[in-house]
Amino acid sequence: MSYALNEVEALAKRAVRGAGMSWGTAEEAAKATRWLCRNGIDGAGVLSALLDHNQGKAEQDLRPAETSGTWCAVDATQLCALLAGAALSDGALKLKDASIAMQRLSFPALLLPFMASAAAQLNCVLVLECDAGSASTDGNLLALSNDALLQATSADVVIRIGDLTGNILSQVSRAKPAPVAWDTLNTYAHKTYAPATEASRLAGAGAGLSDND
């Protein structure tokens, strides 16, 4: 089944919030998921896997401990791509002076939309390299050396200014997420909905207890 990119963005936002992350992070994640889907990648699948992976961990422990030298998480075990990506977008100018290295980055595919944002800010092409492969973007187009990067759950990565190389992905107008990933996002999203009360159930029943006949 396919979904409009707006639908993907809206569900991703609620899912990330339902997973316990801040609304600001949820908004960034939603945009990132939409960007991946627009480039023909199952962003919903990557995001749902990340949210499952992050369960039980506080957001503040998953963000970069610092953004000088090699980036690593506060708890030194896993660096969340969503939080590292937001920091990358904010600190894009640093890439003019040197490459940025990140250790134990979880689900590096989710860093690509933020790298695109940084590339657009700098009006250049940025390249991500890791053992699984490489990706490059000019802010709009995305090129991959292979699909292994999209499957990676953790990697040490380097981001630098470079050239657009690899297979350029075709952009699409609708997303086709894996059904299990879509269901997972819906499960997280439902955690943001307030439970029904007796009053709300009666109000939603139309006439309620009154007889309008």
User: Does 210 have pLDDT greater than 70?
Assistant: no
Direct distance between the N- and C-terminal alpha carbons of the chain, in angstroms, rounded to an integer: 43
Q: Report pLDDT for 195.
A: 62
Binned at pLDDT 50, 70 and 90, residue 211 comes out as very low
Per DSSP, helices labelled H in the chain are: 5-18, 23-38, 43-54, 59-62, 81-90, 112-122, 148-151, 179-189, 198-203
Euclidean distance between CA atoms 193 and 44, whole angstroms = 20
pLDDT in tens, 91-127: 999 999 999 999 999 999 999 999 999 999 999 999 9
What average pLDDT does range 82-86 have in this prediction?
97
* Amino acid type, 153: T
Sign of the dihedral defined by the CA atoms of residues 182, 37, 107, 61, in that order: negative
